[in-house]
C-alpha cells in the first residue's frame, strides 16, 4: 500500500538507493538475473535495517541510458521491485532512468510503491544520450489515468549529468515551474553522482517553493546535518557503497553511521 506521508515539509527524512546491476538487454548484463535480484533485495534490507525512511529502486547499472526503458529492462525492474516490496516494510519508490515516467508510475502502481522520481520534469536538457524535453503534462495525465494520484512525484530540477538547453533559466524558475506543474516534492543535485548539492542552491530553491525539498546527490555522513538544516530530505546512494564503488553492495556500517550522524 502506498505510504508517502513521510515526504513533508519540516520532516527530516532519508531515502536510500537500491542501485540494480545491469538489467537484461543492456551492455553490462551478466546473464544471471538471480544475482541481480539477490543484490537488490539485500541492499533494500540493509537500508531498512539501518533506519532509512524509504528506498528508491533504480536501474542504475543500465548505462548508457536511453530516455525510456526497453521492454526487457522494464520487465526486469518490475520483477525486482515486486520482490523487494514483499520483503521490506518501509515505503518504496521507483526511478526508471533516464526519464521513463510511464514505467516508473506503472511499476509503482503494480507493486504498491509510494512515489516515483522523475529526473526531467519541467526542464529541457541535454545529456550524453541526446535531448530530453519536459514531461510534466504527460506524467500528470498518465498518473491520473492510472488512478495513481496517491503516488507522489519527486521531480528533479536541472538534474545532475545534464546541461540546460536554455542556460539562462534560473534554478528558481525551474523550481517554480515544477511546483506549478504538480510536483509533490523537488529534488536538487550537484553536477554528477556523488557530487555534493551546493548549499547555496538548496537555499535558493527553499526560498521560492513551499514543497518538500530534497538534496539528491553527494549526501554523506560529514554533511547530512548541514544539508538537512535547509532541505527536508536526502536521497543517498554512492556514499553508502562498500569501498565507495557504485556497483558494490550497500554497507550496513556506512548506512547506520549516516543515520546516526543525522540523529546525533
In a domain, 139, yes or no: yes
Q: What is the pLDDT of residues 51-101, one digit of tens each?
A: 999 999 999 999 999 999 999 999 999 999 999 999 999 999 999 999 999
Average of per-residue pLDDT values in the chain = 97
- Count up the domains in the chain and report the number: 1
Find the mean pLDDT for residues 255-263: 97
Residues 229, 114, 100: CA angle, nearest 5 degrees: 95
Q: What is the pLDDT of residues 154-211, one digit of tens each?
A: 999 999 999 999 999 999 999 999 999 999 999 999 999 999 999 999 999 999 999 9
In a domain, 249, yes or no: yes
Measured CA distances, 182 to 155, 177, 185, 229, 245 (Å): 9, 9, 9, 25, 35
In a domain, 117, yes or no: yes
Q: Report whether pLDDT(3) > 90.
A: no
In a domain, 8, yes or no: no
DSSP string, 154-176: EEESS-TT-EESSTTS-HHHHHH
In a domain, 5, yes or no: no
Which band of pLDDT confidence, cut at 50, 70 and 90, is reported for residue 49? very high
C-alpha cell at 10: 519540516
Residue 83 is predicted with a pLDDT of 99
Residue 96's Cβ-side half-sphere holds a number of Cα atoms within 13 Å equal to 23
Q: Report whether pLDDT(17) > 70.
A: yes
In a domain, 140, yes or no: yes
In a domain, 7, yes or no: no
Find the mean pLDDT for residues 219-231: 98
Q: Report whether pLDDT(1) > 70.
A: no
The answer for 107, left when phi > 0, alpha when psi is -120 to 50, beta otherwise, is alpha
In a domain, 256, yes or no: yes
% of the chain surpassing 70 pLDDT: 99
Residue 231 is predicted with a pLDDT of 98
Q: Report whether pLDDT(13) > 60.
A: yes
Which band of pLDDT confidence, cut at 50, 70 and 90, is reported for residue 264? confident
The conformation of residue 129, written as its DSSP 8-state character, comes to: T
Residue 94 is predicted with a pLDDT of 99
Per the confidence metrics, is the pTM higher than 0.85?
Answer: yes
- Structural domain of 18: 13-263
Neighbours of 194 (CB within 10 A): 17
* CATH of residue 60: 3.20.20.70
Amino acid at each position: 500500500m502506498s505510504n508517502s506521508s513521510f515526504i513533508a515539509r519540516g520532516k527530516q527524512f532519508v531515502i536510500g538507493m537500491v542501485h540494480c546491476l545491469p538489467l537484461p538487454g543492456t551492455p553490462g548484463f551478466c546473464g544471471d538475473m538471480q544475482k541481480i535480484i539477490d543484490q537488490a533485495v539485500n541492499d533494500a534490507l540493509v537500508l531498512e535495517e539501518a533506519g532509512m525512511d524509504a528506498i528508491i529502486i533504480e536501474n542504475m547499472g543500465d548505462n548508457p541510458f536511453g530516455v525510456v526503458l526497453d521492454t526487457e529492462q522494464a520487465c526486469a525492474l518490475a520483477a525486482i521491485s515486486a520482490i523487494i516490496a514483499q520483503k521490506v516494510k518501509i515505503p518504496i519508490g521507483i526511478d526508471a532512468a533516464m526519464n521513463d515516467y510511464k514505467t516508473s508510475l506503472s511499476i509503482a502502481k503494480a507493486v504498491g510503491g509510494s512515489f516515483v522520481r522523475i529526473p526531467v520534469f519541467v526542464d529541457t536538457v541535454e545529456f550524453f544520450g541526446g535531448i530530453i524535453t519536459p514531461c510534466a503534462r504527460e506524467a500528470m495525465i498518465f498518473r491520473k489515468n492510472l488512478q495513481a494520484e496517491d503516488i507522489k512525484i519527486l521531480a528533479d530540477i536541472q538534474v545532475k549529468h545534464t546541461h540546460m538547453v536554455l542556460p539562462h533559466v534560473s534554478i528558481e524558475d525551474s523550481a517554480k515551474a515544477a511546483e506549478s506543474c504538480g510536483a509533490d516534492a523537488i529534488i536538487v543535485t550537484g553536477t554528477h553522482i556523488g557530487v555534493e548539492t551546493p548549499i547555496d542552491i538548496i537555499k535558493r530553491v527553499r526560498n521560492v517553493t513551499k514543497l518538500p525539498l530534497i538534496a539528491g546527490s553527494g549526501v554523506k555522513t560529514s554533511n547530512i546535518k548541514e544539508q538537512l538544516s535547509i532541505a527536508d530530505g536526502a536521497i543517498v546512494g554512492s556514499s553508502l557503497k562498500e569501498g565507495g564503488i557504485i556497483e558494490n553492495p550497500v554497507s550496513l556500517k556506512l548506512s547506520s553511521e549516516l543515520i546516526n550522524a543525522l540523529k546525533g
